Chain A
């Protein structure tokens, strides 16, 4: 191959380094080992290292490598000493790291430094003492050899003739039919997505994603303490994380948190005059607005509500929604507004949902478009 060069093809050393007399620069560009498997030197100028021609520098490099290996040995001995001698419960204060377990700290430090010193020593050895002649490694061309491709094509033709794939029409067609039906068992298992709790044919995945536990008249309770809320409980500027009243029953019935995840809402209150737009006429109650707590981008729960700007910020990807303006997106990757829940009060004076969510909550899905 053309890129192969021989060691005789003019590797010129860098004379700027001042090679001392008596050392032939040509010799420094020769690989030490010249038996089978040796790689030929590259056809580029070779610059010798100080340790190549200065015996003092070579000995210094030798000592450096050995010192690193000795340091590594010391660290491994210290590791054993630390493991035996230090009480595992003692803590020690390390500046900037704070209070840490003394034994763990010593074990980590010594083992880490010990392994590091082996590596550093090996690299120093390779850089200073091992030959640094630029060599060329041969590579095969990437295309297949001509006679191999011809043979492969011949084998294909021979297989076609001998199997009679073209000749036996009925075999060919039935085989194609069998292969076509092969994916059907995998597809039919997807029916399980429609299975309801009692084993029957339940709601579709689209329906599950589009509905929440909120129905007309469902009382709103606080998340965590499950107290029903009156409008006067929420001051202007207030924020309440809330759930439907029957969430715990649904949760026990379904043995999962899916319903809670979908139905989580936040209630915020602002002066009615501050509300610029809503998703439906009069969906607030005296300035109390209910919005889904689930980001429409990828479904993080959001309650980073700034009560002066009325912005709701998602901590995951910084989508920002303006709750005073119908929950519209003002910043970030979310593509849809935050769904609003229409609320009112029941006869007992507690806050309730006036209708289910008008649009699916949470991230977009295929059928939503």
Chain B
């Protein structure tokens, strides 16, 4: 312990401490941000609509209005369709815990039946995109190469070429697609959640969506060829990693070389 105390003013120690702190913060962040999976839901009847309305008034109406007409704090839900409800609620994005730049993914408080009941209620208000069927989500015959081309044209600018996500303006971000299920991806394209634009079936038909999903599924399954993927966020993280991590090691080594021996 004495030897340790004697060395604590050594410049190498402060460099190492900085490095350990940086790695600790990064690691804690990675552990803290994990997504919850979503499951498929069934169709609903009038009882489901009534149940959905009850849940809506309870959990959603304070922002979206008593008749889903929208308020100053939340947009109207008339015409957003069942797909939008399923995407937002089953990923935990809605109801939002607090107003903010973007609704984060968080643990889901509703059962599958609750989600489909709310979806049925919102769908009963006005026609909108329905929850995709199992047939629409089947991408087994899709062309992965074609999906890659469409992904790079339509998705990569925000979600990054390898699906790692990226930053947008004023605190908003495009999430990583590494944990997104085919249904979530399909519903997101169909409904344009939050600031994501809508990629409707008229401009991006179902088979193109399936090709994109097949490409993303392929990205999710494939390992990072270099080992450490660094969130697949591209040159910014790689540069930051080098500066904060590797560069700190080099600075430490340089200090050790230059320091006088005792």
Point out residues on A near B: beta carbons under 8 Å. 47, 49-51, 94, 96-100, 105, 123, 127-128, 132, 222-225, 227, 229-230, 232-241, 268, 301-309, 311, 313, 315, 318, 320, 331
A-B contact count (CB 8 A): 99
**In the complex, are the beta carbons of B168 and A313 less than 8 A apart?**
yes
Tell me the bound Cα distance from A357 to B46 in angstroms.
Answer: 53
Distance of B211 from chain A, by nearest CB (Å): 10
- Contact A235-B200, Cβ < 8 Å, known A132-B260, A304-B168: yes
User: For the complex, is B198 an interface residue (Cβ under 8 Å from A)?
Assistant: yes
Please give, as numbers and ranges, the residues of chain B lying within 8 Å of A303 by CB-CB distance: 154, 157-158
B interface residues (Cβ-Cβ under 8 A, vs A): 75, 149-150, 153-154, 157-158, 166, 168-170, 172, 174, 192, 194-200, 202-203, 208, 223-224, 227-229, 256-257, 260-262
Interchain nearest-CB distance for A113 vs B (Å): 14
Give chain B nearest CB distance to A207 CB in angstroms.
29
A224→B262 contact, CB < 8 A: no
In the complex, residue of chain B having the shortest beta-carbon distance to the beta carbon of A127: B261
Listed residue (A96, A99, A315) with the most chain B CB atoms within 10 angstroms of its CB: A315
Residues of chain A with a CB closer than 8 A to B196's CB: 307
Closest to A123 in B: B257
Taking A98-B224, A225-B208, A241-B154 as contacts, is the C-beta distance between A307 and B197 under 8 angstroms? yes
Q: Which residues from A are CB-within-8-Å of B150?
A: 224-225
Q: Which of B75, B170, B229 contacts A98 (CB 8 A)?
A: B229
A264 nearest in chain B by CB position: B153
Extra contacts, 12 of them, besides A235-B202, A303-B154 (Cβ < 8 A), are A49-B262, A50-B261, A50-B262, A123-B256, A222-B203, A233-B202, A237-B197, A238-B192, A238-B203, A239-B154, A241-B153, A308-B75
**Residues of chain B contacted by A227 (CB below 8 angstroms):** 203
B241: min CB distance to chain A, Å: 12
Contact B228 A97 (CB under 8 A): yes
* Nearest chain B residue, comparing its CB with the CB of A269: B198
**A132-B227 contact, Cβ under 8 Å, with A234-B202, A235-B200, A268-B197:** no
Q: How far is the CA of A99 from the CA of B198 in the complex (A)?
A: 36
Q: Nearest 8 A-B pairs (CB), nearest first?
A: A239-B197, A233-B202, A306-B195, A97-B227, A127-B261, A238-B198, A100-B227, A303-B157
Q: In the bound complex, do residue A307 and residue B195 qualify as a contact, i.e. CB atoms below 8 Å apart?
A: yes
Report B7 CB to chain A, min CB distance, Å. Answer: 14
A238/B199 in contact, CB under 8 A: yes
5 A-B pairs within 8 Å (CB atoms) are namely A51-B261, A225-B208, A239-B197, A306-B195, A309-B169
Residue of A whose beta carbon sits closest to that of B194: A308
Name the distance in Å between B240's Cβ and chain A's nearest Cβ: 16
Cβ of A98 and Cβ of B223 under 8 Å apart?
yes
Alpha-carbon distance between A122 and B260 when the two chains are bound, in angstroms = 15
Tell which of B200, B203, B227 has the most Cβ of chain A within 10 Å.
B203
B122 to chain A, nearest CB (A): 17
**Complex alpha-carbon distance, A98 and B178, angstroms:** 15
The CA-CA distance from A232 to B261 in the complex, in Å, is 77
